[in-house]
Amino acid sequence: MAEKIIMPQAGQDITEGRVVKWLKAEGDTVKKGEPICEVETEKVVFEVESPADGILLKIIVPDGGKAEIFSTIGMIGSPGEKVDEQELAGAETKKEGVDISDIRRRLEKKGDSGAAAIKISGRARKLAEEMGVDLAAVEGTGPNGRIVEKDIMKAAEEAAETKSRISPVARKMAEEKDLDIGQMQGSGPGGRIMKEDVEKAMAQKAAVSTKPATAPARGPKVVKEILPIRGVRQVIFERMHQSLQQTAQLTITMEADAAEMVRFRKMLGQGPENEAIRVSFNAILIKILARVLEEQPRMNASVEGDEILLWESVNLGVAVDVEDGLLVPVIHDANKKDLVSIQKELDNLAERAKTRKLVPDNLRGGTFTLTNLGFLDVEAFTPILNPPETGILGVGKIIQKPVVENGQITVGQRMMLSLTFDHRIVDGTGGGRFLRRVRAYVERPYLLLAA
């Protein structure tokens, strides 16, 4: 009997995934446990293993296609075996454009998995009931995707606007042809989208699909290459835009004397071979940030509606450069871990990021982020917040430069610290105190060894 290849749930809040590419073609022989395709959820790409020995009978979701979790994306069976079409009835997939709200609605009907998929504040739930908003159609912008009041208001406004700007016949046609209503220009009264407008969009889409794949000329310029915005890069586009639109970001800088931190790191790596400790500057900085965030919890916070949530957990995200963009794996409860444990976890996360072995939960739950561009010889920069976090610390290269100490010019080892924070939550003076405390630990890292 044919075996289903299922879209896995690679994280507790994940509701859909995208097939990046199939590693096998229909008709190929596969073995149980062998990687058969690559799947992407949010910023993570990982391999799906074959559930059985046999032949890849059918690929249901093609490269680039999306599917809800637990749905069927392919079938494996014996040579010559026919695929029962009824077995595929539950797949319910759609290439590049699956309706996430519809997925959540169906998950909610299933019971436990749906309950975990929708997180909402009490005020937002009450407002949704008053305004008749379907929660399954709302995208949450609060911590960990939680739905807050502004999300309900936005959903209600969009529903009213969408309903009024397109005729019922035009809407049905657009949905059947998978057309984006938001990209259409209406010719009806008040710009309302009519049947003729949808037909025009259909014709334009057909013309584009049959156009030769040549570099288009744009005025006096010729396009060398067109790069689609999708996958990791699409998530970065959305997150960075969201960050700048929804927060009041302020960046302040301080120069720190890094000589003692350099010496501290060197001393940890000396001594008998079985006692030497290898730690990176990032591990030391994470430990420093964890300590300061405990001392000044206002920076370890998020905004939800009209409330500021101060988090008990100190979860430090560390920006890692990978081939497709930037990933920020998270070290959870960093304030409860020593330097050696932090370094081991850093090494593990970095390796998993570069080999695409991370799972979505490795990227979730961060309360503050560290980004270090010193390895690229960058001395100072302005980091952008990673929503819904309140702060991010940017660290530059440690450089030798002339400094004045006790009235004498000497050669010092200096490092720039750039703190970007949400000015709605933390005032400039609060940000200054936080950064000054970080600098104090950088200049006297031995204080980390104190309880």
Known catalytic residue at 423? yes
Contact assessment for residue 155 and residue 138, using Cβ atoms and an 8 Å cutoff: yes
Which residue of the set 99, 257, 321, 423 is catalytic?
A: 423
Which residue of the set 84, 134, 338, 427 is catalytic?
A: 427
Contact assessment for residue 195 and residue 167, using Cβ atoms and an 8 Å cutoff: yes
- The set of long-range contacts for 79-85, using a CB threshold of 8 Å and a minimum separation of 24, is 79/54, 79/55, 81/2, 81/55, 81/57, 83/2, 83/57, 83/58, 84/2
Q: In what order do the strands lie in the sheet with 72-77?
A: 3-6, 72-77, 54-59, 29-30
Contact assessment for residue 111 and residue 123, using Cβ atoms and an 8 Å cutoff: no
* CA dihedral angle for residue 296, residue 299, residue 301, residue 305, rounded to 10 degrees: 120
Known catalytic residue at 84? no
Q: Is 11 left (phi over 0), alpha (psi -120 to 50) or beta?
A: left
Based on the number of CB atoms within 10 Å of its own CB, is 133 exposed (0-12), middle (13-18) or buried (19 or more)? buried
Q: Which residues are catalytic?
A: 423, 427
